[in-house]
Amino acid sequence: MGLVIKAVKDNNTTIVVEVPPTRTDIIHACDIAEDIGIAFGYNNIPRMYPPTNTVGKQIPLHKF
């Protein structure tokens, strides 16, 4: 994928990634997470429920 891990910090909970200038599609941290998901395989990620339950609804401004 062309990403280089430069450092691992805080007991393996934080990594520093170097993005080459040829990867213009990477703008935010979520783009790096997407690349990791593609490389690892989305179906290989264990499914789990979030720690809190929430209920979503449409924003009133968008309902109009």
The pLDDT of residue 24 is 92
Q: Mean pLDDT for the chain?
A: 88
Write out pLDDT tens, residues 8-25.
888 888 888 999 999 999
Going by pLDDT thresholds of 50, 70 and 90, the confidence category of residue 35 is very high
| pLDDT reading at 43 higher than 90 | yes
Map out the domains of the chain with their CATH numbers. 4-63 (3.30.56.10)
Q: What percent of the chain has pLDDT over 70?
A: 97
pTM of the shown model: 0.64
Rounded to whole angstroms, how far apart are CA atoms 10 and 58?
Answer: 39
> What are the DSSP calls for 24-63, one per residue?
TT--SHHHHHHHHHHHH-GGGSPP---SS-------HHHH
